[in-house]
A and B are shown apart, each in its own frame.
Chain A
Amino acid sequence: MKIGRALVLAIVSLALMAQAKPVLVPDVSARRIEIRYSFSGAQLLLFGAILYPRGRLPERAPDIAVVLRGPVQPILIREKQKIAGIWMNADSARFRSAPAFYAVASSRPISQLVDERTAAIYEIGLQNLQLSPGSGALPEKARHFEAGLIDLRKRNGVYYESPRGVEISEGVLYRARISIPSQVPVGTYTAETFLIQDGRVLAVATRDIYIGKSGFERWVSLVARRHEFLYGLAAVVMSLFLGWAAAMVFRRRF
């Protein structure tokens, strides 16, 4: 019995050794991004190394795709239409899981790396986001609104694709720079790195990045939510004081 099990183990480990896959060792330039008063966006460097079995480089260097995604939010999208000469909100659609931020960088355009099915499985590329449209929505309508959302967020800089944004040096070290604009929400972001060869994903590695307000900004948004009355009072007192102070200062001048 014991010998049998050892034998099976040995065979399995031999088999693993034979077709051992490359391993990814990823890292990010910051695990935590703090939003302070002067926060005007951040630059994130996603880098790492590809470890090949027995240290041998393959003949054809594999490709890397890096995805940084923000926390998912349930959202409602409204579409304006011209009704009686006025542009007003006419139709709307719900999506249960739209990422607040989505950036993908790859060493070659994604369509050249993987087929559509694989891209959809791993959610690589803006066309492959799983937004979970609300129940009862017609597929065409959901697609129409999805396209609208992606276009809107692309122009806001929170969704983007950078088809040649990953640099691979010597086939071993890779790096990608992703910029995060200032209007992204706080929360836990995930950075996924995909090692792709011949249309197959060989390895996936994930790192979490936390974006949070800190110091004064964190305090202000906490007070505004938890102590609404004091917050409102502080705003009123501040405006009264500034108005009064200006009147006092300038009364002597004029």
Chain B
Amino acid sequence: MDIYLPIAGQSVNALLIIALGGVVGILSGMFGVGGGFLTTPLLIFYGIPPTVAVASATTQITGASVTGAMAHMRRGGADLQMGAVVVAGGIIGSLVGAAIFRALQASGQIDVVIGFMYVVLLGYIGVLMLKDALIALGYVKAAAPRQRPRHNRWVATLPLRWRFYKSGLYISPLAPLALGFGAGILTMLLGVGGGFVLVPAMIYILGMPARVVIGTSLAIILVISAGTTMVHALTTRSVDIVLAALLLVGGVVGAQYGAALATRMKPDFLRLALAVVILLVGMRMALGLAWRPDEIFTVEYL
């Protein structure tokens, strides 16, 4: 069943896009991530222009994170005060990201930068998760457990401290602000929600307790991705609402099944599986940078 995408300017197989959204949705429901890290590269492989793929994947992330955020909010497992500070940074970050996006587009190096950032990000996170999962499953002996300081030394030196009651922290809001700034840039450039970066950073850098981290991160992703969709609509004008709707239909249904599946699987195996998926996508992108590309020439309209 072919459907014409008005912004992308080409027709695609609707069932294939819905299925792609569904598969990514299952993964995102299982692991609590937005799934943009898979949608964007897969859409680009399918032949959608990269800018349209990034912008429309952002819209899908919003939909995918609504469900999770709602469930966690009901249980009260979210620090909305912390979330608001991160979001404030995120909005500034996405505006800066938009400027970087345009500058890179003009210089013609956007593909390489996007590919390179994906490889670094996916490689780093994949290795980190793989190590954690293997240690948890007992396949690898953990190094002598080192006592982690609860507070990061750099964060503790920042001036202007606030109390974050839900997280039980007394830290400077500049740290979460900077974190949101980074996440906003990533969302704008890569079409990823930034859940990958937010969750470990909130635990290890800010020192937030794990029980509020997932809910807070989902709430942040929800707002940042919604904001980024707006920025894309206003600046690059490459949000394809039909493509986003197709992805969402598959994605939100898949996310529900993924969440149901997650309760029936051992969480450490889940983490191991996600780590392998992330590393595979990262490796594919790395090969894409080094292999001779299919098309040596690309056309840009002036």
| Contact indicator B229/A236 (Cβ below 8 Å) | yes
Measured CB to CB, the nearest residue on chain A to B47 is A183
Cβ of A13 < 8 Å from any Cβ of B?
A: no
Measured CB to CB, the nearest residue on chain A to B291 is A87
Cβ of B156 < 8 Å from any Cβ of A?
A: no
| Contact indicator A78/B10 (Cβ below 8 Å) | no
| Contact indicator A87/B226 (Cβ below 8 Å) | no
Cβ of B64 < 8 Å from any Cβ of A?
A: yes
Cβ of A228 < 8 Å from any Cβ of B?
A: yes
CB distance from B301 to the nearest CB of A (A): 6
Contact-residue bracket for chain B = 35 or more
- Asked if A229 meets B234 with Cβ closer than 8 Å, knowing A242-B248, A242-B249, the reply is yes
Q: Could you say which of B66-74, B95-103, B147-155 contacts chain A?
A: B66-74
Measured CB to CB, the nearest residue on chain A to B253 is A246
Instruction: Determine which residue in B4, B10, B71, B230 has the highest number of CB atoms from chain A within 10 A of its CB, and name it.
Output: B4
A178 to B13, CA, bound (A): 23
**Residues on the B chain within 8 Å of A224, using CB:** 6-7, 233, 237, 239, 241
- Asked if A225 meets B67 with Cβ closer than 8 Å, knowing A182-B4, A238-B244, A239-B244, the reply is no
8 Å CB contact of A235 from B71, B239, B292 = B239
**Residues on the B chain within 8 Å of A73, using CB:** 301-302
Q: Could you say which of A15-23, A36-44, A53-61, A114-122 contacts chain B?
A: A36-44
| Contact indicator B67/A87 (Cβ below 8 Å) | no
| Contact indicator B297/A79 (Cβ below 8 Å) | yes
| Contact indicator B4/A232 (Cβ below 8 Å) | no
CB distance from B1 to the nearest CB of A (A): 8
A239 to B233, CA, bound (A): 14
Cβ of A6 < 8 Å from any Cβ of B?
A: no
Cβ of A213 < 8 Å from any Cβ of B?
A: yes
Q: Is the interface of B mostly helix, strand, loop or mixed?
A: helix
| Contact indicator A221/B244 (Cβ below 8 Å) | no
| Contact indicator B233/A89 (Cβ below 8 Å) | no
| Contact indicator A148/B296 (Cβ below 8 Å) | yes
**Residues on the A chain within 8 Å of B296, using CB:** 79-80, 148
- For chain A, residues 219 to 254, give those with C-beta under 8 angstroms from any C-beta of chain B: 220-221, 224-225, 228-229, 231-236, 238-240, 242-247, 250, 253-254
A30-48 near B? 1/0 per residue, CB < 8 Å: 0000011111110000000
- For chain B, residues 42 to 77, give those with C-beta under 8 angstroms from any C-beta of chain A: 59-60, 62-67, 70-71
CB distance from B276 to the nearest CB of A (A): 25
B residues contacting A by CB (< 8 A) are 2-4, 6-7, 9-11, 59-60, 62-67, 70-71, 108-109, 111-112, 116, 226, 229-230, 232-234, 237, 239, 241-242, 244-245, 248-249, 252-253, 255-256, 259-260, 289-293, 295-302
Closest 9 CB pairs of A and B: A232-B233, A243-B66, A246-B252, A239-B63, A148-B297, A250-B256, A183-B10, A243-B63, A182-B11
